[in-house]
Structure 1
């Protein structure tokens, strides 16, 4: 699979003051020898080449205008409904659009092309939010599930799980992350279980990792609404729609309990909680986008402030402390001089 994807990723290795560093594996990936037909035949299955090169995708996006669309702001008749206990950007979409624009300008300078990886449970909206973020930052977007499906024509993630098993799917997922890791200007939406493999973190930490955090009851409602057939980890054959919510809630609670220790390694956490009319469905995608961008912006500022504080230090009593070159050895001073 590595050889099939090698020539389809043309961005440069990532480097940023936000903590994004170039991958030491990039040269090995890009210069690895081609597989012989015999070696290819021994491989269980190979991913097919990506259809769009990130570099070409980015060039197209740079020629486009910012296309993030927000709902209209409430009219004057709804002014009395403004709740001071709810963040203003969650209620005023004109303000939300203006704030996203400010963050877009700030992050364009701060990120310096550093990629962003989205992690979280199924139903958190990683793909939806990721596409909006990529469009806003003029990045290329990749969904690891979609890339794997592209390599298995006519088969969905659910089909791949059933046909090859979860272990095979996780191996494909790790390979996709490995191939994307050296490149910049990407937003990557990962599968919910990608965090359980330590080597995946070594790939994702070439960028900034953001955890979209939602409560199990919210995620269960979303999963059932999207269709239970898309979630092979939750449902087997013969599950009715009436049973779907209770089954999904129970399994999501267990999955979240098992994975929280991994999710907590993320650089930033974004709460999906909604207010008022959005309490049951969660925050709108545009609000989640703003929260994500704000969290990344604050994380970069915090990292830069910490680096600057480490540069500000003084040496107390510098004139009284002898250097190592002239300081007498404590052992030599304690021993009596040798008799001649």
Structure 2
């Protein structure tokens, strides 16, 4: 089976002071967003240069936003974005949910593994994977061709996202039954399912090279740009760490290794 790689403002004169117009506010906001995007773009390109073409694989349970984050991360790094679920649909002309219903999970996983084997051969890609891709041991041979980044959030946050997106898109929720109009019951059911899946997969997700949290202070989940910054920071640190390990293997000279603690991350943590 083959998968193709697709794919200024000047206020008008006025005799008395006026409040800032909506147009001005919008332009200021857009300018700020452009600055943030520019900074992220530069940082992303710098990290991509250090990775020297190594692809990044996003893994994580349903609701972690792998597709959305993957597209934004690829843009920041100048990489190509590939989504295994989208590729499967492009090849089979059926959604993952439809394939689950018609063929069962085992056959779907076999197709998923074939797609992963193809995309793993490419460099300079951010690959958003399905939540269960970690379940097949042979898939790790392909995932280890790049850097694996696990997106991780609180179960309640993930359940909210899944419900907002529509449970019908999640084949592993189709068997839950007991559909109810009561939001609290729906939430409890999805949280329970996520907990059950994590119980079975946690040891596999922990094999990721990096784990990036999705949380925020208000429990609504961090914005995508914040998650991208976290990923880039983690990738940058990991590349630097690997460079140090390379020096260790080559008998480092004095001055090769410098231990610093710029963010106060060594030693005891302050109480939250």
Alignment check: 8 A CA contact 1:218 1:280 kept: yes
**Residues 1:50 and 2:4 are matched in the alignment:** yes
State the shift of 1:175 in Å: 0.6
Secondary structure (helix, strand or coil) at the match of 1:198 reads coil
**Residues 1:287 and 2:241 are matched in the alignment:** no
Which is worse superposed, 134-143 or 114-123?
Answer: 134-143
Q: How does 1:217-256 map to 2 (within 5 A)?
A: 217-236=156-175, 239-242=179-182, 243-256=185-198
Partner of 1:77: none
**Residues 1:186 and 2:112 are matched in the alignment:** no
**Residues 1:120 and 2:74 are matched in the alignment:** no
Q: 1:105 aligned to 42, 45, 49, which one?
A: 45
Partner of 1:129: 69
| Greater radius of gyration (CA) | 1
Q: CA RMSD in A?
A: 2.3
Secondary structure (helix, strand or coil) at the match of 2:138 reads helix
Q: How does 1:61-80 map to 2 (within 5 A)?
A: none
**Structure 2 unaligned regions, length at least 5:** 8-26, 254-272
Alignment check: 8 A CA contact 2:62 2:131 kept: yes
State the shift of 1:227 in Å: 0.7
State the shift of 1:313 in Å: 5.8
State the shift of 1:199 in Å: 0.8
Mark the CA change 1:72 to 1:219 in structure 2 (over 3 Å): closer, same or farther.
farther
Alignment size in residue pairs: 231
Alignment check: 8 A CA contact 1:134 1:140 kept: yes
**Residues 1:272 and 2:214 are matched in the alignment:** yes
Secondary structure (helix, strand or coil) at the match of 2:72 reads helix
**Structure 1 unaligned regions, length at least 5:** 6-48, 58-70, 75-91, 315-340
When normalised by structure 2's length, the TM-score is 0.78
Alignment check: 8 A CA contact 1:161 1:232 kept: yes
Partner of 1:262: 204
Cα separation, 2, equivalents of 1:72 and 1:159: 45
Q: 2:249 aligned to 273, 293, 310, which one?
A: 310
Alignment check: 8 A CA contact 2:48 2:78 kept: no
Q: 1:165 aligned to 93, 100, 104, which one?
A: 104
State the shift of 1:312 in Å: 2.4
Cα separation, 1, equivalents of 2:165 and 2:79: 27
Cα separation, 2, equivalents of 1:234 and 1:123: 12
Cα separation, 1, equivalents of 2:73 and 2:202: 24
State the shift of 1:239 in Å: 1.8
Partner of 2:259: none
Partner of 2:78: 138
Cα separation, 2, equivalents of 1:72 and 1:127: 29
Which is worse superposed, 97-106 or 192-201?
Answer: 97-106
Mark the CA change 1:152 to 1:182 in structure 2 (over 3 Å): closer, same or farther.
closer
Partner of 2:142: 203
Secondary structure (helix, strand or coil) at the match of 1:151 reads helix
Mark the CA change 1:51 to 1:208 in structure 2 (over 3 Å): closer, same or farther.
closer
Secondary structure (helix, strand or coil) at the match of 2:149 reads strand
